[in-house]
A = this chain, B = another copy of it.
Amino acid sequence: MTSETELHGPEIDRGADADFDEDDRLHPDFVRAVLDAVEAGDVEEARARVEPLHPADIADLIELTPAEDRAALASAIADRIDGDVLAEMNDWVRDALVDALEPRQIADIAAELDTDDAVAIIEDLDADDQREVLRALDPDDRAAIEEALSYPEESAGRLMQRELIAVPEHWTVGDVLDYLRADDQLTTDFWEVFVVDPSHRPVGTCELSWILRTPRVVAVTDVMKREQTLIPVDMDQEEVALRFQKYALISAAVVDGGGRLVGMITVDDIVHIISQEAGEDALLLSGAGDGDINEPVRDSYKARVRWLIANLGTALVASTIITQFEGTIAKMVVLAALMPIVAGVGGNAGTQTLAVTVRALATNQLTRSNTLWAVRRELAIALMNGATIAVVIGIAVSLFFANPKLGVVIGTAMLCNILIAGLAGVLVPLTLERLKADPAIASSVFVTMTTDSMGFLVFLGLATASGLVG
């Protein structure tokens, strides 16, 4: 498997700036022009326009093309759709495109790529296609990819590339330089050199800049940094991403159970994961699943409807609480108009606390060392918010309905529900985390159920108990 970048970097340009919009994405007019050319059968024109684009922009072009026109575009510019383009492409769009290719073609593309990029393409194929692609690869590539596929999905083993530079500890800087110059089979894209002991265990890491700035006679063990962040091959990609962030890593050695160096992960493969993991919390909290706009409609429907049905269930629970107070409402219908305010603002306060807590858990800001402090902090904020909102709504309702007692009841109910919301917003995700469940996934349903039910219960209950209703 040779690396995709030639030693003398490609001298392509990014295309004219006029082809890009203010978000640095391809301009709609450019996309339109290419698609018009394809539709008119003018393949030469389409190719000429795509020629100067960076692989990431060709991937963009295909993503921005309506799904039904992608096949025609892809066949027109087939010679430019190489591994680099596929590696940059949205997962869903790539899967659809790869499904249209022959296993032989996929194998040719995979052979050009580093293991991690090849695995990303092959892992999503169905079992039969996967076998055929693997059979079409040469034995070395096949072995590397089969090994990668043996690690769990979303683990370091899937992310890492086998192409790396490892040198023995007795070498000097000069030895390293000679080795790098002499062997042109080596990978060209690396940022650090790993120093290993005779059993291939990493003992240190040298940044290339240190090697460049050190006299040839110095031993690599005197240049290298012994403090290393080693990534176990079965570590979850989210934890890998957090380590890269925490220790500001450019690349890191991946080790097997015996501590032996088996691969390397580089930061450019991690930035996508950092963005994805950080962004998915908003989607999970809302119950929108993956939330990728390129996901097929049926998959999005399935992901979302599950949560709507769960939400329907919690709404029914809240609804049965209201039915217990039908007598009260019948005597004073305005309570029906006011009760959604108590439930709704409480729900919003709960969602705020929930979003903060889930984010703090995801970034490892909230740990067992500061849990108690964080709960106290959220309660303090809830008390301040609750008091403020209670006073505002209490005064407004007192004046508007000329009924101070109604104002006191709604104000008190609001304060209680915002406190309950604060407590639920921090305790529900903490409990789920303790139970090893993803706090972003199911928390919303529990918190909304709590704030809805408690909002109705406290408000209607107080209205009944206080003698407000005749």
Contact = CB atoms under 8 A, between A and B. Distances in A.
Contacts of A435: none
A278 B348 CA distance: 21
A374 B227 contact: no
Contacts of A245: 271-272, 275
Interface in A197-218: 204, 207-215
A14 to B, nearest CB: 6
What 10 A-B pairs come out closest when comparing CB atoms?
A: A9-B225, A282-B282, A278-B278, A336-B336, A322-B337, A286-B355, A248-B268, A208-B208, A278-B279, A288-B352
Interface in A79-124: 88, 90
A190 B210 CA distance: 9
Interface string A273-289: 01110110111011110
A388 B221 CA distance: 65
Contacts of A248: 56, 88, 268, 271
A452 to B, nearest CB: 7
A72 to B, nearest CB: 16
B389 A312 contact: yes
Contact of A181 (B213, B357, B418): B213
Given A209-B188, A227-B14, A356-B293, A368 B275 contact: no
A279 B359 contact: yes
Contacts of A212: 177, 180-181, 208, 211-212
A40 interface: no
A438 interface: no
A337 B268 CA distance: 53
A308 interface: yes
A285 B355 contact: yes
